[in-house]
Amino acid sequence: MAFTDYYKILEVPKDASPEDIKKAYRKLARKYHPDLNPKDKEANKRFQFINEANEVLSDPEKRKKYDKYGEDWAHADQFEKARESQRSTRQQTEDPFAGDFGSGEYSDFFEQMFGAGSRTRSAKFRGQDYQAELHLSLRDAARTHQQTLTVNGKNIRITIPAGVEDGQVIKLKDHGGPGANGGPNGDLYITFVVEPDPVFKRSGNDLYTTIPLDFYTAVLGGEVMVETLDGKIKLKVKPETQNGTRTRLKGKGFPIYKKEGSSGDLYITYNILIPQNLTHKQKELFTELSKLK
Amino acid sequence: MSDQEIISIETYCSYYNIEQGFIQSLEEYGLIIIRYQESGAFIQKEDVPQLERFSRMYYELNINVEGIDALRNLLEKIKNLQNEKEALKARLKIYE
């Protein structure tokens, strides 16, 4: 476990006054606060450290302990024991909203020195919102099904409706962190990550796929088997089909979210395969054909 | 609207330990909607997360109500741009 330099995090010198620390915290908080940096995991992480640094350096008792034992944190527990008998009530945190993000998420260093969640608060606050990611294959995202998630040791069974999009977020109310001082629980936000599929590309509710088409069927017309999400279907190919021709299969695309029975379209692009390793006879016939132009 | 969907401002402020004047300022700037009934002033429960966000900006980050209004507009733009970026990325995948 590495030493965490809280002065460096708040960008203040070691002899900074409480007022300087407060100013530095507010300045950095305005830059990295999760409310101002939505979906920015890096900023959220940085804010947690800033919050943690502020919690230590703005509390004279904690700051004293940190200054004395900071780099030698492993011996901090001895200090703690000696202080235990003298300790009265902890100083209350000045900022009632400071703990709303990242509370309960302290660095190992902080927990070792100060214990987890040591702050006290008078106001009631909603618990922390949790974020979770759920990875789905494209084909799983195309069907309504149930999955069990484990979030902070609790199993939560959810129904995933067909048609969820990559990056879509759903909220499970009250499944977040517990509230403080009797406040309500936070919410759980689940972001779906739909993995790319080797056959189909998705854009909105439409699917795109490219299929190989042999040269003779492209020239003379015929039939070809095409894979859809519901299985294979036979498709007629018009004579003289050009390479890159796109065909639309209505209603064979991706299911539309929460509109049961409705689906987007499937677009099929033909990739015409030119014959290779021609026999002598084939070459002769192609030459003959070319003369007929 | 049922009583379960609204919460009185008085209750909210006492629960979160904030001033009612702050909520009224937010209303003046059109940042939240207050519903007035005979029994008092109310906000919709679904607006609570938004109100909590504004409260954090005001109390924790020392941003005044004008600043919150400007930030809200900018954050809305960022959200739209992020959605647009995701949609474009999805379309690009078709050609990969």
Whether residue A95 and residue B75 make contact (CB cut-off 8 A), yes or no, is no
Average pLDDT over every residue of A192-198:
92
Domain of A187 in residue numbering reads as 130-194
Residue listed under structure tokens 């003959």: A288
Q: For B74-94, what is each residue's pLDDT tens digit?
A: 998 998 998 888 888 878 877
- With b meaning 16 or more CB within 10 Å and e meaning fewer, what string describes B58-85? bbbbebebeebbebbeeeeeeeeeeeee
> Is the confidence at residue A163, as pLDDT, over 90?
yes
Is A67 domain-assigned?
yes
B65 confidence band (pLDDT: 50, 70, 90): very high
Over chain A, what is the mean pLDDT? Answer: 82
Of A149, A171, A194, which one is at a domain's C-terminal end? Answer: A194
Query: Does some domain include residue A284?
Result: no
In a domain, A250, yes or no: yes
Chain B interface test: which of A25, A97, A209, A265 (most B C-beta within 10 Å) = A97
For residue B63, the chain A residues in CB contact (below 8 A) are 30
Distance (Å, rounded) from C-alpha A108 to C-alpha A251? 53
Go through A194-233 and write b for each residue having 16 or more CB atoms within 10 A of its CB, e for each that does not: beebeebbbbebbbbbbeebeeebbeeebebebebbeeee
Assess whether A26 and A93 both reside in one domain. Answer: yes
Identify the domain boundary among A114, A149, A179: A114
Q: Does residue A110 share a domain with residue A138?
A: no
pLDDT value of position A244? 94
A287 domain-assigned: no
Longest CA–CA span in chain A (Å) reads 105
Number of domain units in chain A: 3
Domain residues for the domain of B50 are 3-95
Q: How far apart are CA B28 and CA A236, in angstroms?
A: 64
Residue type, B90: A
Query: Which residue did the predictor score with more confidence, B3 or A200?
Result: A200
**CA–CA dist A270, A243 (Å, integer):** 6
Residues of B with CB under 8 A from a CB of A: 15-17, 49, 52-53, 55-57, 59-63, 71, 75, 78-79, 82, 86-87, 90-91, 93-94, 96
CATH number at residue A159: 2.60.260.20
Q: What is the pLDDT of residue A237?
A: 95
CATH code of A71's domain:
1.10.287.110
Taking a C-beta distance cutoff of 8 angstroms, is the pair A178, A185 a contact? yes
Here the ipTM equals 0.73
Question: Do both A69 and A157 map to the same domain?
Answer: no
> Which candidate from B59, B79, B94 shows the least CB-CB separation from A38?
B79
Mean predicted confidence (pLDDT) in A129-140: 89
Closest CA to A92 of A60, A116, A111, A119: A119
Q: Is the pLDDT of residue A75 over 80?
A: no
Residues A172 and A272 in one domain: no
Instruction: Answer whether B90 sits within 8 Å of A202, measured CB to CB.
Output: yes
- A291 torsion bin: left (phi>0), alpha (psi -120 to 50), beta (else): alpha
The total number of residues shown for chain B amounts to 96
* A90 shares a domain with A35: yes
Tell whether A77 and A170 lie within a shared domain. no
Return the minimum-mean-pLDDT range out of A49-58, A104-113, A211-220, B63-72.
Answer: A104-113
Q: Are residues A209 and A183 in the same domain?
A: no
Total domain count for chain B? 1
User: What's the pLDDT at A62?
Assistant: 86
Reply yes or no on whether the pLDDT at A83 is more than 80: no
CATH code: domain of residue B23: 1.10.1660.10
DSSP one-letter string for A97-150: TGGGTTTT---HHHHHHH-TT----SS-BPPPPEEEEEEE-HHHHTS-EEEEEE
At A214, list the tokens.
């042999």
For A183, name the nearest residue in chain B, comparing CA atoms only. Answer: B15
Contact B94 A203 (CB under 8 A): yes
Q: Residue range A59-65: average pLDDT?
A: 88
pTM more than 0.95 = no
Confidence of residue A131 (pLDDT cuts 50, 70, 90): confident
Which of the four pLDDT bands, split at 50, 70 and 90, describes residue A104? very low
Q: What residues of chain B lie within 8 A of the CB of A183, using their CB?
A: 15
Cβ separation B82–A39 shorter than 8 A: yes
Taking an 8 Å cut-off on Cβ atoms, the answer to whether B61 and A126 are in contact is no
At B16 the pLDDT is 83
Tell me how far CA of residue A175 lies from CA of A47, A152, A186, B16, B33, in angstroms. Answer: 23, 10, 6, 20, 27
Which residue matches tokens 């230590």?
Answer: A56
**Closest CB to A35 among B16, B53, B96:** B53
Q: Is residue A245 part of a domain?
A: yes
In a mutagenesis test of the A interface, which of B7, B31, B50, B61 is the best target, namely the one with the most A β-carbons within 10 Å?
A: B61
The region, left, alpha or beta by phi > 0 then psi within -120 to 50, assigned to residue A206 is: beta
Q: Is the pLDDT of residue A249 over 70?
A: yes
- Which of A114, A145, A174 lies at the terminal end of a domain, its last residue? A114
Instruction: Check CB contact under 8 Å for B17 and A123.
Output: yes
> Looking at the structure, do residues A107 and A159 belong to the same domain, yes or no?
no
Residue B15's Cβ-side half-sphere holds a number of Cα atoms within 13 Å equal to: 16
